Each structure stands twice: as C-alpha cells, then as structure tokens.
Copies of this chain bind each other. A is one copy, B any other.
Amino acid sequence: MTRSGTNLEHARGYNRRLVLEIVRLQGPLGRTEIARRTGLSVQAIHNIVGDLVEAGLVRRRRAEAGGRGQPAAEILIDPAGAYTVGISFDHRRLVTVLVDLAGSQLGLEEHSLARPDPESVLGLIGGSVGRLVRGYPVQRIWGAGVVIPALIEQARPVSFGPSSLPEWDGFPLAETLGRRIGLPVYMENDATAAAVGEHLHGVGQRLRDFFYIYIGVGIGAGLIVGGEPYRGASGHAGEFGHLPVVPDGLPCQCGNRGCLERYVSLSAAQARLTGAPEGSEAVVPERLAEAFAAGDPTLDAWISDAAGHLRRAVTMVENLFDPERVVIGGILPEPILDALLARMRPLAPSVRGPRDDSAIRLSKAEVGLETPALGAAALPLHDGLTPSFRLIAQPTPSAPAVLRVS
C-alpha cells in the first residue's frame, strides 16, 4: 500500500488536534500565545478554538489582568469534553474504569475471575460498562480500550500469558465487545497501553521518544516514537521478554534460551519464591508484596539478580534506540519495584557520553493494579487527541471524535 496525499480538510483536522494537544499539555494559554507556539496566524487559532469550544473540548476563562494590554482569555481543557472506558483482565481479575478527557479516574469496578471464558467475561464487562457510563452523555464517550497480557494480532489475542487459555486464542474480542457495548473498541497488549497512558498523563507527557518497560505476569515493552506507539513491522515490537540476556540460560517456550522474561517478571519471581515451576499456578502479586514486607531472603536475591539483568537490558535499549528516557512500571508491588530500581543503579555508562550525562535516564511510572485498565482507557483518548501525521494522509481512519467537530 502506498502513502496518501493530503488536502485542506486533513490539515484542518491536524491543526485542531495540534491546538488541543498544546492546550492540554501546556496548560491554560491565551490565543495569541497558541498562535505563537504553533506558527499559525492568530485568526486561524481564533477559528480553531471556536470550533473546539463548540465541541465542548475546551473552555474559555475570563482573563486575570496582569501585564500591559488587554488580558488574554485563557483557553483550557474541559475534562467533561470526553470520556473513555478502560478494561483489563487476566486469569484472575477484571478491572473496568471510566476516565475523562483529563485522565481522571471517575469510577472503577473489579471482579475476580477463575478460568475466564469469553462469554462470561463479556457479560461481566457489559454490566460494568453499563453501570460506569450511566449518567454520562453517550455522544461524549469516545470508546473503550481493552488490555490483556497477550500478543495481539488483528485485534485478536494469539497467546494468553505464560499459562495460555486456549478458549481465547484467536477470539475476535474487539469486534464482539464492540457490538455488545456499542462503542469503538481499541485493543492492545498491556505494555503498549501502559506506555500510551504514561505518554498522555504520566512522566511520558513531555517525552516524544521513550521506552516503557512493563513488568507484569511476564515482561514487555511499549515504544513511543515521535509521540506515537511503535508496533513494528508485524506488530511484535517490544517483545522485551524474549530478549536474550543469558547465553545458554534457562529454556523458554519461545524456543530460545536465556530470555529476559525467565528472570524478570512476576511469574519468574513467584516461581523462585515458591519453587514451583513457572506457569503451574496463577501469579498473585499480593503474595510477593507480603514476602517482601517480611524480608524474605529468596525474594531479595531475586531482586538483585533481576536488577542485574534489567541493567544490561537497559544498556541494550539505550544503545539501539537512544530514547529520551526508559520508564519502568507494571503491576509489580511498588516497594519491590523501588528496590529493583535502586539496585539497577548505577547504570552502565551512557551512549550519550560524558557530555550529556545530566539527563534523567530512568524513571518509575505510575504503578498499581489499575495501571493496565488506565492504559486501556488511554487508547481511545490517544486516538482522538493526538495530532498524528497519520491523520494528514488521505483515507481518514476511523473518523476520531475531534474531527467530528461540525
């Protein structure tokens, strides 16, 4: 397939999103200031802001007088301009959240699962979504994101975590759920979704290129390149778990040996702690948290080993990508993550050389059991907000909400 040409209409959509992004990230701004920052004329900004106000995405606030001249009316995001739903589930838990345009969590529902089959999970999701969005204007709900700890191909899971659930393999989850709840559904793996979430609302907000390491049941990575998630040629970029870190190390079901995931993941930590083989029992983060609180020496040794492997992995990432920063998050209990980060330091000498060694190279992301669901909720927001150059090209993809500004 070839790239497409552009025209005025595409430019319009792009500019509207651009203004929205600048207002969102750079806080209340006057129109003249927006014009300066975008390079567009004041009149163009005037029209664009008018459209965005009409669409309910931004508000105008009476200016406070201060300097010389007429004070600028401040333009700011209206959190009630849009809502999205985030859904995440794995073998044990289903979490559903509702967030607004500012990324604030407005509601959360949680269910325990046991050997979840598609039909029952879809039923639970349908109920949760219905209860959460009740009372919010339907036309402002941009969509729902679904996150599962699995590889996704064409909006279908193709393998579901270390202990695979065959019922889900190839199940057309996005399509089925979309019909059920009547919303556009975005599907993504946990790592990429968490990276998108961090990019919209977290430490990644000011970063255009970063590498997000997601420590979950397994371990994965989400790449943000130029402000957009990068999925690779076949959608498998960020298969961080199968990075070979130990020559002739532990065997992995992928066929290689010494994969990172066998050393750094909740699954690996729990296996080390209990002595049971990986995948033989479901991962319980709380158990790890308790062991850490009790000062368990086996877990402590695991943390040290894991920190060593991760340190080398970060060096590889920096050498290949040179991201602005590496961000680590996931569902690892926060005290354990803190210990892990502490033992990863000092990092190996940077590719940037001694010249530029002042920049922060490693950051902790927001972590918690709702992280994947919040990442899921970020997917439709990202699609509706980002002034992606993709949108400039011809066939308007999936007509995102902002472009529907009449």
Residues of B within 8 A of A21 (CB): 3
Interface residues of A in 313-344 (CB under 8 A from B): 315-325
Q: A233-B209, A244-B316, A316-B244 are in contact. Are A38 and B322 (CB under 8 A)?
A: no
Tell whether A166 is near chain B: CB-to-CB under 8 Å.
Answer: no
**Nearest CB of B to A183, in Å:** 28
Tell whether A254 is near chain B: CB-to-CB under 8 Å.
Answer: yes
Contact B26 A2 (CB under 8 A): yes
Contact A40 B237 (CB under 8 A): no
Interface residues of A in 218-267 (CB under 8 A from B): 221, 223, 225, 230-240, 242-244, 246-247, 254-256
Interface 1/0s, chain A 3-14, versus B by CB < 8 A? 111111011001
Residues of B within 8 A of A158 (CB): 353, 355
Contact A2 B322 (CB under 8 A): no
Contact B244 A40 (CB under 8 A): no
Docked pose: A39 CA to B3 CA in angstroms: 9
Interface residues of A in 81-106 (CB under 8 A from B): none
Residues of B within 8 A of A38 (CB): 2-5, 394
Contact A6 B2 (CB under 8 A): no
Tell whether A275 is near chain B: CB-to-CB under 8 Å.
Answer: no
Residues of B within 8 A of A315 (CB): 243-244, 256
Contact B239 A322 (CB under 8 A): yes
**Nearest CB of B to A242, in Å:** 5
Residues of B within 8 A of A63 (CB): none
Contact A22 B6 (CB under 8 A): no
Contact B235 A320 (CB under 8 A): no
Docked pose: A4 CA to B151 CA in angstroms: 35
Q: How many copies does the complex hold?
A: 2
Tell whether A64 is near chain B: CB-to-CB under 8 Å.
Answer: no
Select A4's contact among B10, B39, B256, B317, beta carbons within 8 Å.
Answer: B39
Contact B319 A242 (CB under 8 A): yes
Residues of B within 8 A of A387 (CB): 3
Chain A: interface size category: 35 or more
Tell whether A295 is near chain B: CB-to-CB under 8 Å.
Answer: no
Tell whether A67 is near chain B: CB-to-CB under 8 Å.
Answer: no
**Nearest CB of B to A14, in Å:** 6
**Nearest CB of B to A332, in Å:** 21
Docked pose: A206 CA to B359 CA in angstroms: 37
**Nearest CB of B to A108, in Å:** 33
Tell whether A397 is near chain B: CB-to-CB under 8 Å.
Answer: no
Residues of B within 8 A of A240 (CB): 319-320
Residues of B within 8 A of A4 (CB): 18, 38-40
Tell whether A134 is near chain B: CB-to-CB under 8 Å.
Answer: no
Docked pose: A315 CA to B6 CA in angstroms: 38
Tell whether A348 is near chain B: CB-to-CB under 8 Å.
Answer: yes
**Nearest CB of B to A191, in Å:** 12
Of chain B, the residue at the smallest CB distance from A44 is B5
Contact A238 B320 (CB under 8 A): yes
Residues of B within 8 A of A151 (CB): 353
Contact B394 A39 (CB under 8 A): yes
Contact B322 A231 (CB under 8 A): yes
Tell whether A286 is near chain B: CB-to-CB under 8 Å.
Answer: no
Contact B225 A351 (CB under 8 A): no
Tell whether A395 is near chain B: CB-to-CB under 8 Å.
Answer: yes
Query: Which of A3, A230, A243, A315: most chain B CB closer than 10 A?
Result: A3
Select A15's contact among B6, B18, B349, B359, beta carbons within 8 Å.
Answer: B6
